[in-house]
Amino acid sequence: MNRTKHHRNFRKLLFVSIITILTSGIFYKYLTSTECSATNSSVTTTNTTITHLMEGTKIEYIPASGGEMIRHKYYILSFNDRYKQANWVYYSLKLRATKTATERTNNFRADKMITSGSAKPSDYTKSGYDRGHLCPAGDMTQSSEAMSETFYMSNISPQLPAFNRGIWKSLEEQVRKWGMREQLYIVTGPVFKKLKGTIGKNKITVPGFYYKIIYSPAHQQMIGFLLPNEKSQQPLSDYVVSVDSVENLTKIDFFPQLPDPIENDLEAHSYYEKWK
C-alpha cells in the first residue's frame, strides 16, 4: 500500500515538473518576442506629441506632484485648486525651420476639464496683471488646434506686464531657438512663495516666482531657470539654477522616469554655456 502511494506521488511530481518546464518555455518565448517587438518599434517625435522613445520604450516625463492632472492633446498639466492655476505644464518641443501660417488667436477661455473650475478671463480684467502663458502660444504654431489649446485659463498665470513682456518673453524666445535644433522636454510653472495677493472673483493667486526646466535627451543635459515675477534688465544667465533647487522650492519631482543616477546627475547642475 505504501509502495503504491509512493509511485502515485512520484508520477504526480513528474507530471507537475513537465508542465512547469513547458509553461516556462512558452512564457520565455512570449517575453523575448515582446522585447524584440518593442526594440524594433519606431516613434516619430515632434511637438505634436509628448512622448519620447528611449531604448525602445515609450516614456512620458510627467512630474510627480499633487493636483488634478489634465491631459490636453498638446500638453499635460497639474491643476492646483487652492491657487486656481497649474502647478506645472509639461510638453515637448521640436520646431520646424519653415514658418507656419498659424497666428495667435487670443481666445482665452475657461478650461472645462478642470473639475473644480478654472479661472475665467474676467478674473484678469483691470487686475494690473497679464494673462501669462505657461506653455507659450509661440511654441504651438504647428496647427490652429495646438495654438487654441494654449489659451485655456488652466495654462495661464498672473504675471506683471513688465515681466511677461520682458525677461519672461526673452526666455521663451531663447527656448524656441534651442527647439529649432533638437527635441526638448519642458516643464514650466509658478512658485507659490512671496505671494503677491489674489485677483478676480475666483481669487487667483499671484505667484512670486516662475520656473522653467528644459531637458535635452540628445545631449543628455538639463537646465533650470527661476525668475521673480517682476521687471528685470538682467541677462538670462543670472537666473540659471539647478533643477534640484526648483524641486526643493516646489516639492515637485521632475523627470522621475529617468534612471536615478542620470536624474541625480543632470538635476544637480545647470550650465548655461553648454546650451549656447
Q: CB neighbours (10 Å) of residue 242?
A: 17
Distance CA 271, CA 276 (A): 10
Per DSSP bridges, beta strands 130-133 and 68-71 are unpaired
Q: Which among 6, 7, 52, 133 is annotated as catalytic?
A: 133
Distance CA 206, CA 159 (A): 7
Could you tell me which of 217, 216, 218, 197 has the C-alpha nearest to residue 207? 197
Distance CA 98, CA 224 (A): 28
C-alpha cell at 255: 523627470
Is 52 a known active-site residue?
no
Instruction: Write the single-letter amino acid at 247.
Output: E
**Is 174 exposed, middle or buried (CB count within 10 Å of its CB: 0-12, 13-18, 19+)?**
middle
Could you tell me which of 92, 93, 63, 94 has the C-alpha nearest to residue 77? 63
Residues serving a catalytic function are 133
